[in-house]
Amino acid sequence: MSNYHIKHLEEYFQVYRKSVRDPEAFWEEIAEEHFVWRKKWDRVLRWDFKKPEVAWFEGARLNITENCLDRHLPVRGDKTAILFEPNDPSGEAQHITYKELHERVCRMANVLKEHGVKKGDRICIYLPMIPELAVAVLACARIGAIHSVVFAGFSSNALATRINDSDCKLVITSDGSYRGAKTLNLKSIVDTALEDCPGVDTVLVARRTGEEVAMKDGRDKWLQPLLDEAYADCVAEIMDAEDPLFILYTSGSTGKPKGMVHSCGGYMVYTAYTFKNIFQYREQDVYWCTADIGWITGHSYIVYGPLANGATTVMFEGVPSYPDYGRFWEVVEKHRVNQFYTAPTAIRALAKESLDYVEKYDLSSLKVLGSVGEPINEEAWHWYNNNIGRNKCPIVDTWWQTETGGIMISPIPFVTPTTPTFATLPFIGIQPALMDEEGNEIKGNQVSGRLCIKFPWPSMARTIWGNHDRYRDTYFSAYADKYFTGDGASRDAVGYYRITGRVDDVIIVSGHNLGTAPIEDSINEHPAVAESAIVGFPHDVKGNALYGFVILKETGESRNRENLHKEINQQITEQIGPIAKLDKIQFVPGLPKTRSGKIMRRILRKIAAGQTDDLGDISTLLNPEVVQEIIDQAEV
Ligand code: WTA
């Protein structure tokens, strides 16, 4: 029996048991039979969550691009690898075959080499969803450079922080990007960022919008002429399985963003294996994940997972609302998409619009629907199931994280019976545990607690770039010998998991993780602001939106509140990006604090959600009187 492709429930249980009973034998078999290695491992797994230290396939040598590209050339060289659908619906889609993708990656890899890039160097990629983005990612992997993709919606400040944190020496960007009816001048954002990034000596600029940009002599170069001249083949750098493949930043509840480091071998094995099963991908299928490659979902399930399986993966440059709310469904019809993977926030936004936008299109090609990034509410689940899946496409509600590299808890379509709002069962090899606040595992069913993982899996992040202590403190110190996810979850009578949301100070807005601390820091820099606290409150499209409680300095008290609201959001947009803007701001006389001076966000969350009759005990606060004042003036 091949364990690579699971086809029915009994087989799932059987393979799951095997993967847990003897993880090393299990993963060794998967790795051996389905990937190309230049040298096999000396040891499948070495781990110690105390240190923490995790190594999979140690001693093995490989290049992930040989698995994603070269090995497909003899069998599916003319098959479409990337199907690029541009922002403008009248623009032509591009079918980039495996052969062409291989050539484009090699050319880009050679351009990087000519600019002095070597194995282990960090390269920042700040590009819109155009083919160059996937090509740049793979080109870095080809030569062993570590890519750090920064989502092209982040501000110059956020970009500079990320470039400096991992010491990137080269940036790949474009003149501009299209987003619906708008364009954004990315190059000027890079220029501003680089005023604070002394380590960057080269900027390669792709042409997309054709708008005018400033090119700095000696630093900035147009990419296309360099690609045209570059040699179309490039020998792959042979990497150790544990060498870093990429860094991807995710928000923490405190401090600066965390550069999660993923490795070459384990990441490849796990993303490929999950992709095959969780989307039940078959050779002729067209698969579409609507995420941006700037997020982990795009890394694992637009680029690496699909390409390692020789799949056709759609790359969509546009937005769901342009030119109208039927755009997703138009693309599904046009390319006969079989698997469609998106975020609850997009589903909720589209569900608010007329069904005419859906009914105009033939969605009969769809087989599997996916959801990722935040809990999917019941209403959105049913809308998706009824109107998009027409009650015949299983919905895979996939729970995972930037840190986990791949999907951790999810149904397998046509295998696991689904239940709305439940991510259902752990994927093969994943051993979840629910913990109580005293640090004990809660056994049995119909329970809830904090979600941990008890045993390593191949694609887990190995460290935080430059800060292994923070990695340990964030993920391995809350519960002994366990990886702590930061999420709460429940387990129902049949053992299905339901993720209930973050239990720390990360807020998920439209599927994007936002830490409270950096937003508060940015607000506090406004000259009129003395102190602030951010919490999330329920929002019918975004899932959560941000509510800021702001104390003004005495000198700021007389200022126009409406203008201040705008100025504060402007400041957040500049320092972090528009996704972190506050929906509501309340100017308050004080913030509820514990006697040790910690802000009691729990109380603020209740106020923001309008649940003020259920505040719990506030008598231990340093300043309980302020709570009533805040409630009286609240914006809900
Ligand atoms: C949340 C995205 C409920 C969760 C892949 C997690 C989810 C955080 C789901 C990670 C889901 C992701 N149901 N919650 N299916 N998927 N989350 O790092 O809180 O951007 O910890 O990775 O998103 O977000 P990240």
Nearest to 461 by CA among 186, 99, 54: 54
CA of 633 to the centre of ligand 1 (A): 33
Q: What is the pLDDT of residue 120?
A: 98
Q: Which two tokens stand for residue 63?
A: 């290049």
Token pair for 132: 């160059």
- The answer to whether the CB of 543 is under 6 A from ligand 1 is no
Question: Does residue 627 register a pLDDT over 70?
Answer: yes
How close are the terminal C-alpha atoms of the chain, in Å?
Answer: 58
Task: Name, in order, each residue with C-beta under 8 angstroms of 557's C-beta and a sequence gap of 6 or more.
Answer: none
How does DSSP assign 32-101, residue by residue? HHHS--SB--SEEEEEETTTTEEEEEET-EE-HHHHHTGGGHHHHTTSEEEEEE-SSTTSPPEEEEHHHH
Q: Which tens digit of pLDDT belongs to each residue from 273-307?
A: 999 999 999 999 999 999 999 999 999 999 999 99
8 A C-beta contact, residue 307 and residue 131: no
Q: ipTM for the complex?
A: 1.00
| CB-ligand 1 contact for 410 (6 Å cutoff) | no
Q: Which of 248, 341, 508 to mutate to test the pocket of ligand 1 (most atoms within 8 A of CB)?
A: 508
**For residues 241 and 508, is the Cβ–Cβ distance under 8 A?**
no
- Across the range 325-345, mean pLDDT stands at 98
Close Cβ partners of 588 (under 8 Å, ≥ 6 residues apart)? 549, 550, 551, 626, 629, 630, 633
For 513-524, what is each residue's pLDDT tens digit? Answer: 998 988 999 999
Q: What is the largest CA-CA distance in the chain?
A: 74
Residue 208's φ and ψ, nearest 5 degrees, are -130, -60
Q: What residues form DSSP beta bridges with 409?
A: 399, 426
Helix (H) or strand (E) holding 177: strand 177-179
Does the pLDDT of residue 472 top 60, yes or no?
yes
Reported as a single tens digit per residue, the pLDDT across 246-272 is 999 998 777 789 999 999 999 999 999
Q: At residue 1, does pLDDT exceed 60?
A: no
Average pLDDT over residues 102-114: 98
pLDDT tens, residue by residue, 496-517: 999 998 998 899 999 999 989 8
* Ligand 1 within 6 A of CB of 401: yes
The residues of the chain that CATH labels 3.40.50.12780 are 9-489
| Cα angle, residue 606 at apex, residues 603 and 610 outer, rounded to 5° | 140
CA of 452 to the centre of ligand 1 (A): 14
Q: Cα separation of 452 and 291, whole Å? A: 26
Say yes or no to pLDDT of 72 above 60. yes
Q: Are 275 and 281 in contact (CB under 8 A)?
A: yes
Among 248, 223, 5, 215, which Cα is nearest to 112's? 223
**Centre of ligand 1 from the C-alpha of residue 399, in Å:** 6
Atom of ligand 1 nearest to the CA of 250: 18
Q: How far is the CA of 374 from the centre of ligand 1 (A)?
A: 5
State mean pLDDT over 70-82: 98
Q: Which residue among 404, 487, 509 has the greatest number of ligand 1 atoms within 8 angstroms of its CB, and so is best to mutate?
A: 487
User: What pLDDT score was predicted for residue 65?
Assistant: 99
Of 123-137, 140-154, 600-614, give the lowest mean pLDDT range: 600-614
191 lines ligand 1 (CB under 6 A): no
SS3 419: coil
**Tens digits of residue pLDDT in 222-248:** 999 999 999 999 999 999 999 999 999
- CA atoms in the 13 A half-sphere facing the CB of 343: 23
CB 152 within 8 A of CB 132: no
Is 80 exceeded by the pLDDT of residue 596? no
Q: What is the DSSP letter of 461?
A: -
Q: What is the pLDDT of residue 256?
A: 86
Does ligand 1 lie within 6 Å of residue 292's CB atom? no
Looking at residue 636, its pLDDT comes to 65
Question: Which residues touch 408 (CB under 8 Å, ≥6 apart)?
Answer: 399, 400, 401, 426, 427, 430, 432, 453, 457
> What mean pLDDT comes out for the span 44-71?
98
Atom 4 of ligand 1, nearest CA residue: 374
User: pTM of this prediction?
Assistant: 0.94
Rg (CA), the chain: 24
Long-range contacts of 435-444 (CB under 8 A, 24+ apart): 435/479, 435/482, 435/484, 439/478, 439/479, 439/480
Exposed / middle / buried, residue 531 (Cβ in 10 Å: 0-12, 13-18, 19+)? middle
Residue 16 binned pLDDT confidence (cut-offs 50, 70, 90): very high
The rounded Cα 104 to chain-centroid distance in angstroms is: 25
Of 598 and 364, the one with more pLDDT? 364
Classified by CATH at the fold level, domain 510-633 comes out as GMP Synthetase; Chain A, domain 3 (3.30.300)
Regarding the beta carbon of 463 and ligand 1, being less than 6 Å apart is answered no
Q: What angle do CA 47, 53, 56 make, to 5 degrees?
A: 55
Q: Which residues contact 406 (CB under 8 A, 6 or more apart)?
A: 267, 270, 271, 274, 300, 305, 400, 457, 459
Mean pLDDT across 580-591: 95
Checking if the pLDDT of 434 tops 90, the result is: yes
Looking at domain 9-489, its CATH architecture is 3-Layer(aba) Sandwich (3.40)
Interval 530-542 mean pLDDT: 94
Instruction: Return mean pLDDT, the chain.
Output: 96
Residues 397, 437, 21, 28, Cα dihedral to 10° = 60
Residues of the chain with CATH 3.30.300.30: 510-633
Residue 417 has pLDDT above 90, yes or no: yes
pLDDT of residue 622: 87
* Tokens describing residue 300: 């694992």
Q: Are strands 182-184 and 202-206 parallel, antiparallel or unpaired?
A: unpaired
Can you give the pLDDT at residue 555?
Answer: 74
